[in-house]
């Protein structure tokens, strides 16, 4: 469960705070679990929702980029993510600005639609799309830098 919170948090301390708050909610709502679906899935949903609530409560300024601008920035460069380990990817995601990180997690990992993200975060669907596009571009750039660094270190 800490891994879920870590994806949304800016650092380990914030992730631990999110997780602790979520576990308190879980214990308080144990009677609400109806046995439909897995218990882990039910807990996971509470962890995600608590992380999103934490973000909204401590709302930081979103770096909203115009959607047309993001399409121009899309890189056609492809890269092989098979050499990227989970730890590296988690670090790259955590280094995203808060707005980018939350939208990326909600869309790419949790499977929310842009409409759902917009409703949850109080932004427009276009802002959600632009945040995701920009987050992907930043992650792509960071992965390419990381791969370049590894290549230079191994062959340089």
* Domain CATH for 36: 1.10.1740.10
Q: Are residues 96 and 110 in the same domain?
A: yes
Q: What is the pLDDT of residue 88?
A: 80
Which of 18, 37, 58 represents a domain boundary (last residue)?
58
Q: What is the pLDDT of residue 61?
A: 46
Q: Are residues 69 and 48 in the same domain?
A: no
Q: How many domains does the chain have?
A: 2
Print pLDDT tens along the chain (156 aa). 999 999 998 889 999 999 999 999 999 999 999 888 899 999 999 999 999 998 888 765 444 444 544 444 444 344 455 556 778 888 888 889 888 999 999 999 999 999 999 999 989 999 999 999 999 999 999 988 887 765 556 555
Q: What is the pLDDT of residue 39?
A: 94
Q: Are residues 66 and 43 in the same domain?
A: no
Q: Are residues 74 and 113 in the same domain?
A: yes
Q: What is the pLDDT of residue 81?
A: 52
Q: Are residues 35 and 72 in the same domain?
A: no
Q: Are residues 47 and 108 in the same domain?
A: no
- Own/partner pairs, 78-84, CB within 8 angstroms, 24+ separation: 79/140, 79/143, 79/144, 79/147, 80/147, 81/143, 83/147, 83/150, 84/143, 84/146, 84/147
Which of 24, 42, 58 represents a domain boundary (last residue)?
58
| CATH (domain of 86) | 1.10.10.10
Note down the domain range covering 47: 1-58
Quick check: 117 and 107 in contact, CB under 8 A?
yes
Q: What is the pLDDT of residue 143?
A: 87
Q: Are residues 37 and 95 in the same domain?
A: no
Q: Are residues 29 and 2 in the same domain?
A: yes
């Amino acid at each position: 469960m800490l891994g879920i919170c870590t994806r949304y948090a800016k650092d380990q301390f914030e992730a631990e705070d999110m997780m602790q708050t979520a576990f308190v909610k879980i214990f308080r709502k144990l009677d609400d679990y109806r046995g439909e679906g897995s218990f882990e899935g039910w807990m996971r949903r509470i962890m995600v929702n608590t992380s999103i609530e934490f973000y909204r409560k401590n709302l930081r300024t979103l770096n909203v980029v115009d959607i047309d601008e993001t399409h121009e920035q899309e890189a056609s460069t492809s890269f092989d993510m098979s050499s990227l380990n989970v730890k590296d990817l988690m670090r790259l995601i955590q280094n995203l600005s808060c707005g980018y990180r939350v939208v990326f997690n909600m869309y790419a990992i949790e499977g929310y639609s842009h409409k759902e993200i917009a409703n949850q975060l109080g932004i427009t669907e276009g802002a959600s799309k632009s945040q995701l596009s920009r987050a992907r571009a930043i992650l792509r750039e960071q992965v390419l830098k990381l791969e370049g660094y590894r290549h230079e270190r191994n062959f340089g």
